[in-house]
Amino acid sequence: MKTMIGVIGGSGVYQIDGLEGASWVKVKTPWGKPSDEVLLGRLDGVPMAFLPRHGRGHVHAPSDVPFRANIDALKRLGCTDVVAVSAVGSLREDFRPGDFVVVDQYIDRTFARPKSFFGAGCVAHVGFAHPTCPRLSAACADAARGAGVTVHEGATYIAMEGPQFSTLAESRLYRSWGADVIGMTGMPEAKLAREAELCYASVAMVTDYDCWHPGHDAVDVAAVIATLTANAGNARALVAGLPARLGADRAPCPHGCDRALDMALMTAPDKRDPDLLARLDAVAGRVLGGAAAG
Ligand SMILES: CSC[C@H]1O[C@H](OP(=O)(O)O)[C@H](O)[C@@H]1O
Ligand SMILES: Nc1ncnc2[nH]cnc12
Give me the pLDDT at residue 292, please: 76
Give me the pLDDT at residue 293, please: 66
**Would the annotation count 11 as a binding residue?**
yes
CB-CB contact of 72 with 30 (8 Å): yes
Give me the pLDDT at residue 61, please: 98
CB-CB contact of 3 with 20 (8 Å): no
Whether residue 188 has a cis bond before it, omega within 30° of 0: yes
Q: pLDDT, tens digit, for every residue of 11-51?
A: 999 999 899 999 999 999 999 999 999 999 999 999 999 99
62 lines ligand 1 (CB under 6 A): yes
**Would the annotation count 58 as a binding residue?**
no
**To test ligand 2's pocket by mutation, which of 210, 212, 229 has the most ligand atoms within 8 angstroms of CB?**
210
ipTM score: 0.99
198 lines ligand 2 (CB under 6 A): no
Give me the pLDDT at residue 13, please: 92
Q: pLDDT, tens digit, for every residue of 61-96?
A: 999 999 999 999 999 999 999 999 999 999 999 999
- Backbone phi, then psi, for 124, in 5-degree steps? -145, 150
Q: pLDDT, tens digit, for every residue of 207-227?
A: 999 999 999 999 999 999 999
Give me the pLDDT at residue 249, please: 96
pLDDT at 54 over 80: yes
Q: pLDDT, tens digit, for every residue of 144-185?
A: 999 999 999 999 999 999 999 999 999 999 999 999 999 999
Largest CA distance in the chain: 61
Percent of the chain scoring above 90 in pLDDT: 97
